[in-house]
Structure 1
Amino acid sequence: MENREKKKIGFLMAILPLIIMIIVMLFTVVKLEQGPHMPLIIGTTVAALVAWRYGFTWKEIEEMMFKGIKLALPAVVIIMLVGMTIGSWMGGGIVATMIYYGLQIITPGWFLVAITIICAIVSLAIGSSWSTMGTIGVAGMGIGLSMGIPAGMVAGAIISGSYFGDKMSPLSDTTNLASGLTGTDLFDHIKHMLYTTIPGLLIALGVYTFLGRRFAGGNIDLEKIQQTASVLKDSFLISPWLLLVPLAVIVMVAMKVPAVPALVVGIILGFISQIFIQGGSLADSIVALQSGFAIETGNEMVDGLFNGGGLDSMMYTVSMTIVAMTFGGILEYSGMLQSIMNQLLKVVKSSFTLITSTIGACVLTNATCAEQYISIVVPSRMFTKVYKKMGLHSKNLSRALEDGGTLTSVFIPWNTCGVFILGTLGVGVAQYGPYAILNLFIPFISILYAATGFTIVKLTKEEIEKAESETEAEEEDKSIEAVHV
């Protein structure tokens, strides 16, 4: 068992676990209306059997799964902290305060535009779509639903704004990852993304302006909005001072304090607010962190908004993340994903097919490995040399990685981003997908540019010569290593 000869896994066998997983996923989620955990476990089982059939031992397969899970551990920690943040901010009256003042100053007709811009500014400042959605986004959902706007529309606007900042902020992990892996200057990378991201944001704002018209004027029950605001004021101590809590978190992250300690400070401040401002007991405050906040106001909408959060509320998301990463780990480390990607490389004949293939590879990796970081890491490994060989600047690759990887992760229900949004905003891909306009349009804008050649930057003669010399040096090093072996 330990000395089995390993064979390269061909394309048909490599794609088999993915095909089976997708078929089972569609049947389970669409037909049976169940969660995606079991299809992912079935996909993992098939992938393990294929890997074993091609010479990998069970110990090696276990290591692949553990490596996949390890990649998701930072995301798991943040998911759990966000759950605790929501619980403490619910109990501390922080979310209620944001919703209350939001109902006073934002008109229904312009709400979708306003929440998109607010989320864009916050995520640009802190560099995190998840932190933005888990804080400002939760309050935005409450305001939008109180105004009678469908949950999918509200979530789509929040996602669009949050991912604008996540994509464009120099503090964003995905932005730094894409530029670092491709050897592109960070600010060159950001400037190059402006060509696709700004049009995407303008399209999104245009769509939200059009959609918002139906909620303006007489279509909104203003009495219901005022009733909701009144219930909030009766149930919580509303104070503008409580707005300092989310502001503190935003400032800390903007000052390059890592997300984990920043969220911990937010949790502590929310915990203190529940005890000393809202008058809750120590036991109730601990319960809010663990099991979520609970309240009975007699108002169905308010009760629906504020009964939630807590560490326990994120365990569904955590379990799905772990299961998804076991599947992705086997595909990645057994070479199956590489075999699938190699087929994509066969169709690359021009800058158009290269950039389109890069975006396609990112989408495929998001679906198979269920993690947006891997959707940047794996295609960057594959395509870096191809871009150099075709005389294209690395910032074309770094932009394609973000356009295809960072943004499309929200459309995969079992991706860590999809499950995070479901757990945080309470809305699934089927509802918010059509309204996440920025995420939806930017990949197509990127492909359109590739087809027309607009903003596609080529290497200079000196840069091409430098790239060729580096390639020759790498090949020489490999030859020397081979001789020594």
Structure 2
Amino acid sequence: MKSVDKNQDKGNNQREFKLLWALLPLIVMIGVMLYTVVSLEQGPHIPLIIGTVTAALVALKAGFKWKEIEEMMYKGIRLALPAVVIIILVGMIIGSWMGGGIVASMIFYGLKLLNPSFFLVAICLICSIVSLAIGSSWSTMGTIGVAGMGIGMAMGISPGMVAGAVISGAYFGDKLSPLSDTTNLASGLTNTDLFDHIKHMLWTTIPALVIALGIYAFLGQNVSGNIDAAQIAATSSVMQDSFLISPWLLLVPVIVIGMVAMKVPAIPALVIGAVLGFLSQVFVQGDTITAAIVSLQEGYAIETGNALVDNLFNGGGLDSMMYTVSMTIVAMTFGGILEYSGMLKSIMNQLLKLIRNTGSLIASTIGAAFLTNASCAEQYISIVVPSRMFANTYRKMGLASKNLSRALEDGGTLTSVFIPWNTCGVFILGTLGVGVVEYGPYALLNLLCPVISIIYAFTGFTIAKIDDGGGGAGGEKEPTEVKTELQHV
């Protein structure tokens, strides 16, 4: 039996694969991943490489030349290069901000101001406000999120809970801010007015946030009884002895967040943040230039005798992000072959055959976005591919384009954090130091939004028709026509 049909898409080199052959690389990768990560407790790199080799063999069997397969991998890697640069810079920021006493100042004052019972609610709301202002989940997690993790751990709260609350807040703004790259991408690819898109997303995002905050409040009441006040006092005292704590140092994250909010590109803003951290370590903390450079490269190191403080402030640096960078590159080689060979498109075509009504259409869109996150390991592809595949179906069923754009965000933007090898999953691991298994159950906004969206789809609630003034089904634009900067900010 032949592995592919002979017909090819016009204008590109993709082929139409038989479903089993298209799924084979995913089946192999996920099977090896489960065994390696769960049973052997090893990292996901080797399973991804095995998946890449399997995808390459399937592509060779389909008639692709090796040079073409290489180019597919390179295309996948090129798509992730902006994310790689951001990951490296965030590592440098964390190292310099730890050495500069900036993180210590944020944690010190956070411990003074935040009540343990309502900490999860507070950190989620703070991250929501910051990410809404700057439109960036990554920048929010790399600044406010890092400090939030430190405060929560000092209070004795589970790292998974804290990370989940941080992620929920960070992705609230990433989803609803008009400055967000994914928000602009989803509206642009579906030819939906940006603010119509945002208003339509409120129906799923606001209820999800309210439910999440209620659960965080409940969890906070349960954990508050385990808080050791003496430990918090001891931690604060050790930080004061180890760093020069000053409210002026809080200006550094304010400056960086302000620059991003004023639409300064992410990379220059993060570079300035790292420079300010470097200067703080030299001129405020009184360390040598050599020590400050080591913080940027290798991360900050300190020995205070207090295990919690040492755990909080040993880390960061460019080197600490190499695990994340390598995983991103390996994952994108796998995703590149699946996307550019046509395997992913073949899987999507089979999903289209399952559609019978509005409910199944929107559920399939969300499922396709999640599948793309898992297979191609990149949040942007999870929006681009389903938008092109489902646009005509939405139009034929008389559904407004904002239904599609909302489903893309609910299924693509938000679920990326649940894939350990997705660029978002590896960024969170490298930045917050917590893996998907730990934070997944507590990333409540990200869990609830897709569920609420599917419920709406099957009940018809908030589902807009073209005749309702919701706009056409869109999908007329190609990705190259969308004037959105495709980088994580």
Q: Which residue of the partner structure matches residue 135 of structure 2?
A: 127
Q: Which residue of the partner structure matches residue 280 of structure 2?
A: 273
Please tell me the root mean square deviation across aligned C-alpha atoms, in Å.
1.6
Distance 1:257 1:386 in 2: 38
Deviation at 1:460, TM superposition (A): 1.5
Deviation at 1:342, TM superposition (A): 0.6
Is 1:201 the counterpart of 2:219 in the alignment? Answer: no
Distance 1:364 1:174 in 2: 17
Q: Which among 78, 93, 97 is matched to residue 86 of structure 2?
A: 78
Q: Which residue of the partner structure matches residue 426 of structure 1?
A: 433
Aligned pairs for 1:108-123 (under 5 A) are 108-123=116-131
Q: CA contact under 8 A between 1:8 and 1:54: conserved in structure 2? A: no
Aligned pairs for 1:154-165 (under 5 A) are 154-165=162-173
Q: CA contact under 8 A between 1:110 and 1:209: conserved in structure 2? A: yes
Distance 2:274 2:469 in 1: 53
Distance 1:113 1:288 in 2: 32
What does the per-residue CA deviation read over 1:25-76, in whole Å, with 9 as the maximum and x for residues that have no partner? 0000000000000000000000000000010000000000000001101111
- The structure whose Rg is larger is 1
Q: Which residue of the partner structure matches residue 142 of structure 1?
A: 150
SS at match of 2:17: coil
Give the partner amino acid of 1:451: F
SS at match of 2:16: coil
Q: Which residue of the partner structure matches residue 189 of structure 1?
A: 197
Q: Which residue of the partner structure matches residue 99 of structure 1?
A: 107
Where does structure 1 lack aligned partners over 5 or more consecutive residues?
475-485
Give the partner amino acid of 1:34: Q
Structure with the larger helix share:
1
Distance 1:302 1:231 in 2: 7
Deviation at 1:277, TM superposition (A): 0.2
Deviation at 1:219, TM superposition (A): 2.7
Is 1:337 the counterpart of 2:344 in the alignment? Answer: yes
Deviation at 1:463, TM superposition (A): 8.5
Is 1:386 the counterpart of 2:393 in the alignment? Answer: yes
Is 1:48 the counterpart of 2:48 in the alignment? Answer: no
Aligned pairs for 1:389-428 (under 5 A) are 389-428=396-435
Deviation at 1:461, TM superposition (A): 8.5
Q: CA contact under 8 A between 2:464 and 2:470: conserved in structure 1? A: no
Is 1:305 the counterpart of 2:312 in the alignment? Answer: yes
SS at match of 1:364: helix
Distance 2:470 2:188 in 1: 18
Distance 1:177 1:324 in 2: 22
Q: Which residue of the partner structure matches residue 454 of structure 2?
A: 447
Deviation at 1:220, TM superposition (A): 1.3
Q: Which among 20, 25, 31 is matched to residue 28 of structure 2?
A: 20
Where does structure 2 lack aligned partners over 5 or more consecutive residues?
1-5, 9-14, 479-489
Give the partner amino acid of 2:394: Y
Q: Which residue of the partner structure matches residue 327 of structure 1?
A: 334
Deviation at 1:215, TM superposition (A): 2.6
Distance 1:373 1:462 in 2: 28
Deviation at 1:8, TM superposition (A): 3.3
TM-score, with normalisation over the residues of structure 2? 0.93
Q: Which residue of the partner structure matches residue 68 of structure 2?
A: 60
Q: Which residue of the partner structure matches residue 482 of structure 1?
A: none
Give the partner amino acid of 1:150: S
Q: CA contact under 8 A between 1:296 and 1:303: conserved in structure 2? A: yes
What does the per-residue CA deviation read over 1:184-216, in whole Å, with 9 as the maximum and x for residues that have no partner? 111110000000000010011000000000233
Q: Which residue of the partner structure matches residue 256 of structure 2?
A: 249
Is 1:264 the counterpart of 2:283 in the alignment? Answer: no
Q: CA contact under 8 A between 2:401 and 2:470: conserved in structure 1? A: no
Q: Which residue of the partner structure matches residue 369 of structure 1?
A: 376
Q: CA contact under 8 A between 2:369 and 2:383: conserved in structure 1? A: yes
381-390 vs 439-448, which moves further = 381-390
Distance 1:467 1:262 in 2: 37
Distance 1:208 1:139 in 2: 18
SS at match of 1:8: strand
What does the per-residue CA deviation read over 1:120-174, in whole Å, with 9 as the maximum and x for residues that have no partner? 0111111111111111111100000000101100100000011001111111111
How many residue pairs get matched? 465
Is 1:152 the counterpart of 2:160 in the alignment? Answer: yes
Q: Which residue of the partner structure matches residue 233 of structure 1?
A: 240
What does the per-residue CA deviation read over 1:234-283, in whole Å, with 9 as the maximum and x for residues that have no partner? 10000000000000011111111111111111111111000000001000
Q: CA contact under 8 A between 1:116 and 1:158: conserved in structure 2? A: yes
Q: CA contact under 8 A between 1:83 and 1:424: conserved in structure 2? A: yes
Give the partner amino acid of 2:399: L
Is 1:459 the counterpart of 2:459 in the alignment? Answer: no
Deviation at 1:467, TM superposition (A): 7.2
**Identity of paired residues, percent?**
75
The runs of at least 4 consecutive aligned structure 1 residues that moved more than 6 Å come to 461-464
What does the per-residue CA deviation read over 1:327-351, in whole Å, with 9 as the maximum and x for residues that have no partner? 0000000000001111100011111
Q: CA contact under 8 A between 2:156 and 2:226: conserved in structure 1? A: no
Distance 1:264 1:371 in 2: 24
Q: Which among 363, 378, 381 is matched to residue 356 of structure 1?
A: 363
